[in-house]
Amino acid sequence: MSKKIALITGITGQDGAYLAEFLLNKGYEVHGIKRRSSLFNTERIDHLYKDPHEENVNFFLHYGDLTDSLNLTRLIQKIQPDEIYNLGAQSHVAVSFEQPEYTANADGIGTLRILEAVRLLGLMDKTKIYQASTSELYGKVQEIPQNEKTPFYPRSPYGVAKLYAYWITVNYREAYGMFACNGILFNHESPIRGETFVTRKITRGATRIILGLDKKLYLGNLNAKRDWGHAKDYVEGMWLILQQDEPDDYVLATGKTTEVREFARKTFSELGMEIEFVGEGVDEKGTVKSVNEELLAKKLEKIGAEQIESIVSYAKSLIGKPVIEVDPKYFRPAEVDILIGDATKAREKLGWEPKHTLDDLIKEMVESDLEKNYRELVLKRCGFEVPKSCEL
């Protein structure tokens, strides 16, 4: 049997990178659409890339954009994909209030452009389409937990654009019999999550504070609750959705919800630092209550850090100091207060189950950010020196 061909939009993003790796391991030929940028923007997928001049190359990148139908149509015609995963989007909810029109164009109409290209090219019987739908569709929550039947009430230009994308996917399925499916995915994170989403902002911020690279972490709404899973588990769910006999829509979620404040507390605690939250509203602060020296030293040892004693001693000097503060600039004009998903259908029909717990996720993100920021610290303090023992 010839190998399957997948096309991924948003391949340079968190999910695109994990999905590309997952599909390559399954023997797929993977094509990705990346945007032209003035700098390299492929850091998350560089490890998958092979020089196209080599033999047995299964991974290809193409320039493109969800706002450019001609480009999308040409690429789909050339690649003739068996599966399209439409993950590309302006995916930041807060930014969507700043760029509502662009978000509607890329996230809403972008989906239409893909569906219509597949239809016009006569690939309806060949190409299956996965649409990256989101728990942000539920927005102002009507029911807890949320499942495939819960009514939608989006609360941001991002949510509204994704609502269009959701329904146009359903519509093309019903109107033209296309194999087009929505995965309604709740928040999923990882060490390669974008740095401005709250989980990564916290794991990055906490490690930088402990290393003395930053003084404080400024956050918005600490009361928001999210159902956070691991991106690796969720990309497997995307693939499973397209392997079924019939096209359908599925919720993927862990079924547990956690406050932003609690995520921050758990993150610092993973590094041995206990945080106490005092005050209310914009005056709320997270202050360092204690430092578990042994635990912090172990974490630093694990990443191969030197001068551990001085780092631990600096962390101890933070006791009694506020390291988390609220900055109203991160409040959103309309907020989604609580999300908690019910993935019963995915469990029963796809056999999908999240494998990582929130604690596993936080541990992995913290260790990765500790290592990255430790390297930055060394570079900043000591400069770049090639060790004599290193052969170049």
Partner in contact with 163, chosen from ligand GDR, ligand NDP, none, beta carbon below 5 to 8 Å by kind: none
Smallest gap, in angstroms, from Cβ of residue 67 to ligand NDP?
Answer: 5
- Render 135-162 in DSSP notation, one character per residue: GGGT-S-SSSSB-TTSPP---SHHHHHH
Site for ligand NDP contains 12 (CB under 6 A)? yes
* Helix/strand/coil percent split, the chain, to 5: 45, 15, 40
Contact 145, 138 (CB under 8 A): no
The token pair that represents 261 in the structure block: 């404040």
- For helices 358-382 and 260-270, what crossing angle results, to 10°? 60
- The answer to whether residue 134 is catalytic is yes
Work out the angle at residue 382's Cα, subtended by the Cα atoms of residues 378 and 386, and round it to the nearest 5 degrees: 90
- The answer to whether residue 158 is catalytic is yes
Site for ligand GDR contains 91 (CB under 6 A)? yes
Residue with tokens 């499942």: 147
Helix (H) or strand (E) holding 243: none
- The answer to whether residue 374 is catalytic is no
How many residues of this chain bind ligand GDR (CB under 6 A)? Answer: 22
Residue with tokens 């989980």: 199
Mark the segment that binds ligand GDR (CB under 6 A) among 18-26, 111-119, 218-226, 361-369: 218-226
Coil, helix or strand at residue 5: strand
Partner in contact with 41, chosen from ligand NDP, ligand GDR, none, beta carbon below 5 to 8 Å by kind: ligand NDP
* Contact with ligand GDR (CB under 6 A) among 196, 290, 307, 310: 196
Site for ligand GDR contains 258 (CB under 6 A)? no
- Render 4-24 in DSSP notation, one character per residue: PEEEEETTTSHHHHHHHHHHH
- Choice between 16 and 322, CB closer to ligand NDP: 16
Helix (H) or strand (E) holding 8: strand 5-9
Site for ligand NDP contains 222 (CB under 6 A)? no
Half-sphere exposure of 240 (CA within 13 A, CB side): 20
Q: Terminus-to-terminus CA distance in the chain, angstroms?
A: 44
Q: Identify residues 127-186 at the interface with ligand NDP (CB under 6 A).
A: 132, 134, 185
- Choice between 16 and 272, CB closer to ligand NDP: 16
Which whole-number Å values give the CA distances from 189 to 228, 323, 361, 365, in the listed order?
Answer: 7, 23, 8, 9
Alpha carbon 251 to its chain's center: 16
In terms of DSSP bridges, do strands 229-230 and 188-189 run parallel, antiparallel, or are they unpaired?
Answer: parallel
Site for ligand NDP contains 188 (CB under 6 A)? yes
Mark the segment that binds ligand GDR (CB under 6 A) among 23-31, 220-228, 299-307, 357-365: 220-228
Partner in contact with 182, chosen from ligand GDR, ligand NDP, none, beta carbon below 5 to 8 Å by kind: none
Smallest gap, in angstroms, from Cβ of residue 19 to ligand NDP?
Answer: 9
Residues 12, 111, 134, 150: which is the catalytic one? 134
Residue 123 β-bridge partners = none
Site for ligand NDP contains 35 (CB under 6 A)? yes
* Contact with ligand NDP (CB under 6 A) among 5, 13, 128, 249: 13
Site for ligand NDP contains 89 (CB under 6 A)? yes
- Choice between 188 and 299, CB closer to ligand GDR: 188
Site for ligand NDP contains 191 (CB under 6 A)? no
Give the DSSP letter of residue 338.
B
Residues 83, 136, 270, 367: which is the catalytic one? 136
Which whole-number Å values give the CA distances from 16 to 6, 88, 91, in the listed order?
Answer: 12, 8, 13
Site for ligand GDR contains 254 (CB under 6 A)? no
Tell me which residues are annotated as active site. Answer: 134, 136, 158
| Contact positions vs ligand GDR (CB under 6 A) | 91, 93-94, 134-136, 186-187, 196-198, 201, 219-221, 224, 226, 260, 330, 332, 335-336
Residues that bind ligand NDP (CB under 6 A): 9-10, 12-16, 33, 35, 37, 41, 65-67, 87-91, 106, 132, 134, 185, 187-188, 194
